[in-house]
Chains A and B, each alone.
Chain A
Amino acid sequence: DAKTTQPPSMDCAEGRAANLPCNHSTISGNEYVYWYRQIHSQGPQYIIHGLKNNETNEMASLIITEDRKSSTLILPHATLRDTAVYYCIVRPNAGGTSYGKLTFGQGTILTVHP
Chain B
Amino acid sequence: GAVVSQHPSWVICKSGTSVKIECRSLDFQATTMFWYRQFPKQSLMLMATSNEGSKATYEQGVEKDKFLINHASLTLSTLTVTSAHPEDSSFYICSASTSGGFQIYEQYFGPGTRLTVT
Q: Determine if B97 and A104 form an interchain contact, defined as CB atoms under 8 angstroms apart.
A: no
Q: Whole-angstrom distance between the alpha carbons of A43 and B93 in the complex? A: 6
- Could you write out 13 A-B pairs with CB less than 8 Å apart? A42-B112, A43-B93, A43-B112, A44-B95, A46-B106, A94-B103, A95-B102, A100-B32, A100-B97, A101-B49, A102-B46, A103-B46, A106-B43
Q: Chain B's interface: helix, strand, loop or mixed, by majority?
A: strand
Which B residues, 61 to 113, have Cβ-Cβ distances below 8 Å to chain A? 91, 93, 95, 97, 99, 102-104, 106-112
Neighbouring A residues of B46 by C-beta, 8 Å? 101-103
- A interface residues with partner B (beta carbon < 8 Å): 36, 38, 41-46, 49, 87, 93-95, 99-107
Q: Determine if B91 and A44 form an interchain contact, defined as CB atoms under 8 angstroms apart.
A: no
Q: Determine if A100 and B99 form an interchain contact, defined as CB atoms under 8 angstroms apart.
A: yes
Q: Determine if A43 and B43 form an interchain contact, defined as CB atoms under 8 angstroms apart.
A: no
From B6, B43, B93, B102, name the one whose CB has the most chain A CB atoms within 10 angstroms. B43
Q: Whole-angstrom distance between the alpha carbons of A36 and B108 in the complex? A: 10
Q: Determine if B110 and A43 form an interchain contact, defined as CB atoms under 8 angstroms apart.
A: yes
Q: Does B12 contact A (CB under 8 A)?
A: no
Q: Which 6 A-B pairs have the closest CB atoms?
A: A100-B104, A43-B109, A94-B102, A104-B44, A104-B43, A44-B109
